[in-house]
């Protein structure tokens, strides 16, 4: 009983172009063996417990040989009975992806496998540049060709075609082929390829487009003709991965190029919020063109039952790990007039506990509800609950003062996480606090994510603890190791931070970040600030 290998096509880059089948397997994979062209967002979809193996090949720098990859797949399958092994490849696994070689090796070793096709870059990248590869009346066929074979010898861009260039490409046939020609992996050899096509009779005025990093936030289209192809690549510094497309259909790209340059196009941003809360800001930054790396710094866990912490006992100390008591605790809700929520997590965890214990929202009838700010207020509304008290400044202090002034005699219950500070209890000394969730710092980042984070343009912080933890899990960005490591600003990567809240800002500054802080403590305000910064 060996493990099963899935050869999965990851598509051209845009994570939305991964198939449902591919996603389903990645979410449960035990091992993911992936290539260089697979986007970070797709790696982020993989089972967080999966062993991630990078066999990516950089151009000119072969990291892992194909024969070794083949062996590796067999080895994983044999060593891990009933495991799900995902072999994740850019585009489609069988379109110049060497997927066939890997499958043959699996057959020979008697390993069970499945092919999950992907959207190939050959047609999707032109589509993202507004080029329909077989437009009626212009092209009756399209041809996908490799521009890089062992026996294609690259000529220096401005140099002479080497006479010995032994080439298996049939340039005569290609030059006379009326269809659209699409070259993958061809940038390094394109000067040579274009010259050979012209020599063999292809019209030098044939429109050519180079599309670099298609479907990603870094997509770029460069237009040329067959005659100017080589010099254009040098002048415009076209780099891999890029495809070259030749033929009349390229002209349509001038009117159909639909993918607009967005305010955050080409920016890589790290979002350090907890996974559950990150999706909102991630979606917005992505829609504005950024590539977002979600790197939560904390994980929150709803406790089984609320843990009661009367303010007097707490004395400013924060409980670290907490176990709940009995669900009968909800009967004591009758003792409170006001329920105060200070976070979305608090709302979600409280209701989960309440529902799990067999109660429903009727237990809150007649109570006043308070929220620290707009986001928590909105979350409460999802449960059908309107807030009676929301402070104007959206801070714990504001909430404490509001409640102290408006309902001094009320019996107040605070629903918070274990790390909540004691601002509220100081202002409301008679309040009771229930800890409904606990927050655990993330202790390390997978290597692929750390590398991605280091190459980002900026990091988004929504809390001081996120800053503190970020500095800890990115050890190479801090100096010193014994006592509390104080980083040097020059060592930080990325150095720029977008912060929500003055406290967050102060912590980020302390650690040497350049800070840009939102005017209000809302995501809207932060997103506006990010766009302003980059425009």
Residues of the shown chain interacting with ligand SAH in the complex, contacts defined by CB under 6 A:
12-13, 37, 89-92, 95-97, 120-122, 125, 184-185, 211, 213-216, 240-243
The backbone region for 476, taken as left when phi is positive above 0, alpha when psi lies in -120 to 50, beta otherwise, is alpha
Q: Which of 185, 246, 297, 474 is catalytic?
A: 185
Catalytic residue flag (residue 267): no
Is 57 a residue of the active site? yes
**Residue of minimal Cβ distance to ligand SAH:** 91
Q: 211 vs 402, which CB is nearer to ligand SAH? A: 211
Please tell me which residue in 4, 14, 35, 368 is annotated as part of the active site: 35
Rg, C-alpha atoms of the chain: 29
Residues across the chain: 535
Q: CA-CA distance, 319 to 279, in Å (whole number)?
A: 29
Give the span between the Cα atoms of 452 and 344, in whole angstroms: 28
- Which of residues 117 and 400 has its CB atom nearest to ligand SAH in the complex? 117
Residue 245: closest CA among 147, 317, 319: 147
CB 90, min distance to ligand SAH, A: 5
Nearer to ligand SAH, 3 or 12 (CB): 12
Q: Which two tokens stand for residue 42?
A: 């797709």
Distances (CA, A) of 453 to 52, 279, 299, 324, 441: 16, 18, 18, 36, 18
Q: How far is CA 449 from CA 26, 48, 49, 54, 403, in A?
A: 16, 11, 14, 12, 43
337 assigned to active site: no
58/365 with CB nearer ligand SAH:
58
In whole angstroms, how close is the CB of 96 to ligand SAH at the nearest point? 4
Min CB(56)–ligand SAH separation in Å? 12
Nearest residue (CB) to ligand SAH, 60 versus 443: 60
- Output the CA–CA distances (angstroms, integers) from residue 198 to 171, 172, 174, 242, 292, in the order listed: 9, 10, 10, 21, 43
Tell me the closest approach of the beta carbon of residue 482 to ligand SAH, in angstroms: 45
Which residue is catalytic, options 57, 71, 259, 367? 57
Q: ω before 494 within 30° of 0 (cis)? A: yes
Q: Closest approach of Cβ 347 to ligand SAH, in Å?
A: 40
DSSP 339-377: EEE-SHHHHHHHHHHHHHTT--GGGGTT-EEEESSHHHH
Where in the sequence numbering do the catalytic residues fall? 35, 57, 185
């Amino acid at each position: 009983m060996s493990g099963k290998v899935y050869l999965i096509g990851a598509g051209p880059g845009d994570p939305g172009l991964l198939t449902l089948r591919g996603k389903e397997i990645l979410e449960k994979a035990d091992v993911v063996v992936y290539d260089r062209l697979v986007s970070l967002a797709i790696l982020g979809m993989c089972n967080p417990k999966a062993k991630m193996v990078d066999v990516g090949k950089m151009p000119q720098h072969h990291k892992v040989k194909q024969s070794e990859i083949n062996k590796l797949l067999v080895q994983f399958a044999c060593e891990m009975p009933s495991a799900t092994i995902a072999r994740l490849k850019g585009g489609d696994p069988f379109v110049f992806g060497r997927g066939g070689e890997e499958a043959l090796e699996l057959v020979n070793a008697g390993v069970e496998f499945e092919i999950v096709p992907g959207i190939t870059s050959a047609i999707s990248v032109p589509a993202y540049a507004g080029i329909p590869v077989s437009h009626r009346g212009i092209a009756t066929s399209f041809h996908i060709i490799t521009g890089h074979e062992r026996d294609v010898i690259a000529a220096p861009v401005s140099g002479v075609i080497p006479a010995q260039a032994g080439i298996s490409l049939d340039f005569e046939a290609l030059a006379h082929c009326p269809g659209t020609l699409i070259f993958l992996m061809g940038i390094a050899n394109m000067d040579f390829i274009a010259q050979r096509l012209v020599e063999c009779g292809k019209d030098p005025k044939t429109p050519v487009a180079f599309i670099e990093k298609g479907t990603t936030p870094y997509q770029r289209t460069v237009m040329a003709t067959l005659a100017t192809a080589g010099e254009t690549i040098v002048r415009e510094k076209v780099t891999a991965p890029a495809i070259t497309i030749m033929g009349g259909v390229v002209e349509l790209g001038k009117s159909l190029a639909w993918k607009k340059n967005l305010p955050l196009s080409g920016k890589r941003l790290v979002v350090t919020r907890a996974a559950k809360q990150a999706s909102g800001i991630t979606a917005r930054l992505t829609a504005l063109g950024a590539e977002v790396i979600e790197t939560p710094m904390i994980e929150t866990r709803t406790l089984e039952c609320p843990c009661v912490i009367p303010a007097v006992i707490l004395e400013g100390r924060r409980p670290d790990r907490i176990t709940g008591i009995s669900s009968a605790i909800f009967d004591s809700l009758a003792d409170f007039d006001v329920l105060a929520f200070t976070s979305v997590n608090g709302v979600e965890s409280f209701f989960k506990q309440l529902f799990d214990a067999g109660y429903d929202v009727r237990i809150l009838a007649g109570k006043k509800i308070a929220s620290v700010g707009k986001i928590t207020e909105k979350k409460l509304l999802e449960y059908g609950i309107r807030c009676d008290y929301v402070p104007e400044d959206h801070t714990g202090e504001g909430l404490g003062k509001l409640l102290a002034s408006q309902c001094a005699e009320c019996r107040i219950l605070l629903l918070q996480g274990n790390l909540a500070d004691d601002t509220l209890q100081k202002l409301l000394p008679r309040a009771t606090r229930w800890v409904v969730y606990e927050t655990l710092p993330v202790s390390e980042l997978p290597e692929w994510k750390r590398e991605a984070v280091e190459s980002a343009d900026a990091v988004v912080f929504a809390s001081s603890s996120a800053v503190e933890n970020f500095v800890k899990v990115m050890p190479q960005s801090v100096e010193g190791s014994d006592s509390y490591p104080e980083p040097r600003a020059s060592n930080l990567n990325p150095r720029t931070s977008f912060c929500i809240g003055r406290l967050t800002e102060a912590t980020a500054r302390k650690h040497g970040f350049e800070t840009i802080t939102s005017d209000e403590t809302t995501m809207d305000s932060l997103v506006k600030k990010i766009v302003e910064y980059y425009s």
